Amino acid sequence: MKKKPQYIKDKGWRYETEHNQKRRHRTHNYNDIGTYMVTVVIEGRKPVFGYVDGNIKASPNDHDYPMTILSPLGQKVLYEEIPKIHSFFPMVEVWKTCIMPDHIHLILRINAQLPQKKTLGTIIGAFKGGVSRAAGQGSLFEDNYNDRILMRSGQLENWKAYLSANPFRWLIRHTHIEVMQRALCLEINGIRYGAFGNFLLLRHPEKIQVFFHRKMIDDRNKNTRETNTHETNTSQAPSAPLCVRRQPNIHSPLIPTEQTLYWQTESKRLIETAIQGDVLVTPGISECEKRIKNECLRYNLRLIHLQAEPINRFWKPEKSRFEACATGSLLILAPWQEDLQGSSDYERFHNLNALAKDICELGSNATYVLKKG
């Protein structure tokens, strides 16, 4: 039976089986040894723990690098409530703390099996209760919590660095609102998107689709190259999608597109147009598309990136795309799942490229229906 989407407040339409961030990993034993990054959030996102201040241009070692200025309650949490975790559960260590105005991140290490019937949830519940009592009122927090199990090599250090820079990201989001916009429902040509970044990029007059197949006919020993029925050449309008025909040829075998002369020419042309200020549009699926996307992120070239992952109320991009958003050079669009047609990953990825083509055809007077999140 086909699954039916349902409307979830602040998230839009989602399929019934879609996982909520606060669901536990069903196969994991939360009573056993492990390392976790845990997040608890204040109900209504009230900034009860303080505020963020600092200079977004400062370096991490500078005295004015962004940080959370703790309120009296925030200080109680840091100096009284967090140390209680180890006091009540000696087998648990707090490896990293990040207190933000309206939420708290903790990296916890459970070094030995917890007492019988005690789990990570028991620890978090006790901590939330202690903080609420310190505030002198009922429960401060949203129900439940979010956890991430840290198991892969390097994952712990990556999350420690992420939490250290959290006040920096917070300050950028709140002081550069125009390039850090969010929408749960942005409708373009009848397709609904979640969106994050600089919406003005949609109205840029020159938008170019970046579209490369994974493989194409080997052209390294040819003076000409074969393309699809819409042949691409330097005299073509820059908004034309880049794509190549992949028909078998016994004399010219298919090879990865990044090994072809075609790629060398077209990648250079694309980057040059981006340097001149044009906006590149791509889901960045094939290897060549990923390379162009990463060059845009690295050098703050204008980019509209389409992704399959939904954007909800609290979703944030990873470091490289966040920094690109902060410069105003990036807009991320995520089609609603029921609008992204296709029963397989291949079909959905193909449709992302079709949507990229539609976005490139929007003019400087482009209109869209926007509901901010």
Q: What is the DSSP string of 32-52?
A: SSEEEEEEEEBGGG--TTEEE
Per-residue pLDDT in tens (0 to 9) along the chain, 373 residues: 334 444 444 444 444 433 345 556 767 889 899 999 999 999 999 999 999 999 988 988 999 999 999 999 999 999 999 999 999 999 999 999 999 999 999 999 999 999 999 999 999 999 999 999 999 988 899 999 989 888 877 889 888 988 998 998 888 888 888 788 899 999 988 899 999 999 989 988 789 999 999 998 988 876 544 444 334 443 344 444 444 444 444 556 899 999 999 999 999 999 999 998 899 999 999 999 999 999 999 999 999 999 999 998 888 899 899 999 988 999 999 999 888 776 677 777 788 999 999 999 886 555 666 665 5
Tokens 């958003």 identify what position? 325
Give the number of other CB atoms < 10 A from CB of residue 355: 20
Tokens of 314: 């609290």
Q: Under DSSP, is residue 306 helix (H, G, I), strand (E, B) or coil?
A: strand
pLDDT at 366: 58
Q: Under DSSP, is residue 84 helix (H, G, I), strand (E, B) or coil?
A: helix
CB 186 within 8 A of CB 370: yes
pLDDT at 70: 97
Closest residue by Cα to residue 150 from 141, 159, 142: 159
